[in-house]
């Protein structure tokens, strides 16, 4: 049994597991009663954004019109107004995280994290859980999230966690459907930051109660190559633990290649794609994959995508080869993350023609994309359950 919402005499806390991925933010709340998936795109804006049909604003989907002001001492630039997600992709000044940036040090990471929590807190279903005074909601969360292995090894998780834990953060909804004028004060009762490679392993072998579900895999020597937007994490799992000395993080992800494809499509076909997510959709969609519409005609962009993605797949394969050479008793390597979906066919082709390693992918794309959020959920729920049991024992002993 997982404790997902705790009601102490003083306050109520809600479980949140959030993966701030480069492509999008994936979040799981409560008793897995609510999920969010929001494009990780932000754009600075003004307080009164123009809306056609403002009187029908509340009939629209809030997720298509996230317009907020964020106040937090954890931010380098405070009290800034942003468009978030789908709304931001339509802006000329939209920003996505760039290659080489550290997730733990970017305001964008915190802005996306806090706005995702606020979108959960304002829901009518949580009215009995969080205290509301006028237009201000006080929301307490127990959060599980993560950072790339490289950043955790550099100790950046400590500062990231303390910045979030030590403050009350406020998200104010401006011209947002249904939530205009509401403010959410966010406070963390507990906050855990997990290394992404270890989280992937947890999701592979354990269920929501951390019971082992994959006995064949749990004691194997495994390599997990997590290909993200900005970085690649390689975790070497031995004796059910990440080998800290052999875990590696690299500043190589799919974002740069997606941006190159987007730019070449714009140059060659005069077609402007809103964001990298549009490029991913072109590459991975079931029908008309690697095709776009140019002046109403279905046009192949295979030549562009194949050349750029094969080059990236070769770099990823070299990383795998180097790790396998240093860990010769590895039994299988799993490719996970959004980048693995984009590069799967190219990596399989390279492996078949070259070394023939025992490699695995998740054929269920949703499972691969949601792997980190699911893992954080399992870990933070287990932590909360153990904390709750410990407090019950303390009370019983008095």
Residue listed under structure tokens 């799993």: 334
Instruction: Name the most confidently modeled range: 44-53, 207-216, 294-303.
Output: 294-303
Contact indicator for 368, 338 with CB cutoff of 8 Å: yes
| Structure confidence at residue 287 (pLDDT) | 87
Q: Are strands 80-84 and 183-195 parallel, antiparallel or unpaired?
A: unpaired
Q: Which segments of the chain are extended strands (E)?
A: 5-7, 12-20, 24-29, 34-39, 42-44, 66-71, 80-84, 131-133, 136-147, 169-173, 183-195, 222-227, 232-238, 241-242, 248-250, 291-294, 297-300, 332-336, 359-360
The model's confidence at residue 7, banded by pLDDT at 50, 70 and 90, is: low
Residue 373 and residue 16: Cα distance in Å, rounded? 9
Cβ atoms 73, 119 nearer than 8 A: no
- Whole-number pLDDT of residue 50: 65
For the segment 369-380, the average pLDDT, to the nearest whole number, is 91
pLDDT at res. 200:
76
Answer whether 301's CB lies under 8 Å from 292's CB.
Answer: yes
Tokens of 92: 């000329």
pLDDT in tens, 133-175: 999 999 999 999 999 888 888 899 999 999 999 999 999 999 9
CA atoms within 13 A on the CB side of 40: 26
- The answer on pLDDT for 260 being more than 60 is yes
Mention every residue, 6+ apart, whose C-beta is less than 8 A from residue 93.
Answer: 43, 44
pLDDT band at 1 (very low <50, low <70, confident <90, very high): very low
What are the backbone angles phi and psi of residue 144, rounded to the nearest 5°?
A: -115, 125
- Give the H/E segment covering residue 294: strand 291-294
Length of the chain: 398
Pairwise pLDDT comparison (285 vs 36), residue with the higher score: 36
Q: What is the CA radius of gyration of the chain?
A: 22
Q: Where are the beta strands (DSSP E) in 128-210?
A: 131-133, 136-147, 169-173, 183-195
Say how far apart CA 376 and CA 29 lie, in whole Å: 11
Positive/negative CA dihedral, 357, 243, 148, 26: positive
At the topology level of CATH, where does 5-194 sit?
Nucleotidyltransferase; domain 5 (3.30.420)
Q: Which residues of 58-69 are buried (b: 16+ CB within 10 A; e: fewer)?
A: eeeebbebbbbb
Count helices and strands (H / E) in the chain. Answer: 12, 19
Which has more pLDDT, 242 or 187?
187
| pLDDT over threshold 80, residue 258 | yes
State residue 33's pLDDT score: 93
Residue 323 has pLDDT above 70, yes or no: yes
DSSP, collapsed to helix, strand or coil, labels residue 25 as strand
Q: Does 337 have pLDDT greater than 70?
A: yes
- β-sheet bridge partners, residue 223: 236, 333
Q: What percent of the chain has pLDDT over 70?
A: 92
Q: Give strand pairing partners of 133.
A: 136
Name the burial class of residue 112, with classes exposed (0-12), middle (13-18) and buried (19+) by CB atoms within 10 angstroms of its CB.
buried
Give the mean pLDDT of 342-363: 92
In this prediction, residue 52 carries a pLDDT of 56
pLDDT at 398: 53
pLDDT value for 2:
43
Give pLDDT, residue 54. 57
pLDDT beyond 50 at 221: yes
Identify the top-confidence range among 2-6, 70-74, 206-210, 367-371.
70-74
What is the DSSP code (8-state) at residue 91?
S
Residue 95 pLDDT level (bands cut at 50, 70, 90) = confident
Burial code of 184-196, b = ≥16 C-beta within 10 A, e = fewer? bbbebbbbbbbbb
Tokens for 308, please give them. Answer: 């750029």
pLDDT given for residue 10 in this prediction:
44
Helix, strand, or coil (residue 387):
helix
Higher pLDDT, 196 or 177: 177
Total-model pTM: 0.86
């Amino acid at each position: 049994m997982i404790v997902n919402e705790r009601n102490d005499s003083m306050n109520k806390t809600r479980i949140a597991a959030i993966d701030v991925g480069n492509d999008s933010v994936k979040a799981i709340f409560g008793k897995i009663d609510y999920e969010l998936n929001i494009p990780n795109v932000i754009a600075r804006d003004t307080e009164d954004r123009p809306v056609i049909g403002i009187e029908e604003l509340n009939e629209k989907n809030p997720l298509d019109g996230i317009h907020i002001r964020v106040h937090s001492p954890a931010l380098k630039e405070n009290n800034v107004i942003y468009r978030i997600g789908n709304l931001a992709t339509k802006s000329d000044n939209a920003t996505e995280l760039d290659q080489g940036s550290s997730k733990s040090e970017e305001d964008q990471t915190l802005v996306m994290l806090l706005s995702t929590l606020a979108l959960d807190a304002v829901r009518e279903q949580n009215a009995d859980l969080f205290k509301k005074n006028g237009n201000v909601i006080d929301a307490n969360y127990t959060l599980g999230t993560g950072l790339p292995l490289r950043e955790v090894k550099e100790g950046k998780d400590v500062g990231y966690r303390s910045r979030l834990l030590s403050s009350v953060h406020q998200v104010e909804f401006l011209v947002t459907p249904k939530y205009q004028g509401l403010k959410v004060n966010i406070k963390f009762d507990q906050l855990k930051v997990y290394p992404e490679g270890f989280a992937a392993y947890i999701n592979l072998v354990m269920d929501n109660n951390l019971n082992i579900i994959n006995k064949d895999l749990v004691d194997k020597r495994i390599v997990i190559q997590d290909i993200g937007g900005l970085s690649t994490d390689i975790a070497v799992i031995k004796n059910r633990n990440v080998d800290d000395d052999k875990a590696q993080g690299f500043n190589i992800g799919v974002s740069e290649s997606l941006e190159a494809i987007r730019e070449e499509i714009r140059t060659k076909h005069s077609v402007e794609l809103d964001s990298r997510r549009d490029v991913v959709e072109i590459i991975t969609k079931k029908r008309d994959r690697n095709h776009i519409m140019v002046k109403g005609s279905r046009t192949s962009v295979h030549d562009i995508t194949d050349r750029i993605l094969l080059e990236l797949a070769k770099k990823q394969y070299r990383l795998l080869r180097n790790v396998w050479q240093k860990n010769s008793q590895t039994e299988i390597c799993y490719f996970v993350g959004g980048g693995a979906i984009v590069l799967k066919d190219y990596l399989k082709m390279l492996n078949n023609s070259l070394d023939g390693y025992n490699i695995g992918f998740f054929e269920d794309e949703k499972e691969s994309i949601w792997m980190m959020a699911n893992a954080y959920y399992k870990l933070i729920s287990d932590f909360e359950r153990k904390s709750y049991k410990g407090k019950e024992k303390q009370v019983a002993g008095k």
